[in-house]
Amino acid sequence: MKVSVIIPCYNEVDNIRKLEQELFPVVEELVGARLLNEIMIGEVELVFVDDGSRDSTFEVMKSAFASRARENLVLKYEKHEVNRGLGAAIRTGFRASTGDLIVTTDSDGTYKFSTIPLLIASMKNDVDLITASPYHPQGEVVGVPAYRIFLSRGSSLLYRLLLDWNLYTYTALFRGYRREVVEAISFHADDYLAGTELMVKAILKGYIVAEFPATLHRRVFGASKARLLQTIISHLRFQTSLLLHRLRIRSLFA
């Protein structure tokens, strides 16, 4: 089995050392590991997507990681000439990836890279998509500003009401996907709505979605790239369209 790990980056030069120190030891240990029903991971592919950084992220990253490639650890670098948004970066990463399982994760390590093997190991049986879930009863949030958690948790609550009450978090980037899912589901959002759009559409298509209780940590270096007002508006529009869709479906069977 081959695993691809996609890391979108935007002005993350301050986090490159953290990536080298905390991400690479984890993915190096993944090669040869048996996590899914004793199926061995034969190759790991890291796909870094620079989303039009205005700093030296792309150049410093390639230089810092140049010596880390191995026979079964492949490094790929994709670059947008201008900033196009997180959703566009994820799509670019999906197109560049070739793994049977695909992990997407934040470049700032707000979800610890050390939990990537646990996330993959949780994709047992018929799970098609697994998402990190700090809002799960066994999850946790540490040091993140209260207003961000209020907005994110509130958004997830609305999706729970509209879709599946048993899923607690709809907004995390840290996820695992089977390749079938990313090839079958198209999503169009370029901003931070993208991951939610993909997960919602996967649920509506009948894919099995599960949660991995996780701890969301405060960003240590750099500033968050989320544009809060734009993100809120995007989610409200999508939630409205989802509600209208559910009402239309219900009316057909009334």
Domain that holds residue 148: 2-252
Rounded to two decimals, the pTM is 0.91
CATH number at residue 91: 3.90.550.10
Q: State which H helix or E strand residue 144 sits in.
A: none
Q: What is the pLDDT of residue 38?
A: 76
Structure tokens belonging to residue 70: 């191995």
**Considering the chain, what is the average pLDDT of its residues?**
91
Is the pLDDT score of 219 beyond 90? no
Structure tokens belonging to residue 139: 């999850």
Measured in whole angstroms, how far is the alpha carbon of residue 18 from the centre of its chain? Answer: 18
Q: Which amino acid is at 18?
A: K
Which is higher by pLDDT, 88 or 244?
88
Q: What letters, b where the CB count within 10 A reaches 16 and e where it falls short, cover 17-54?
A: ebbeeebbebbeebbebebbeeeebebbbbbbbbbbbe
Total structural domains within the chain? 1
Is the pLDDT score of 250 beyond 90? no
Q: What is the pLDDT of residues 122-166, one digit of tens each?
A: 998 789 999 999 999 999 999 998 888 888 899 999 999 999 999
- Helix residue ranges, H only, 35-178: 57-65, 86-96, 116-121, 146-162
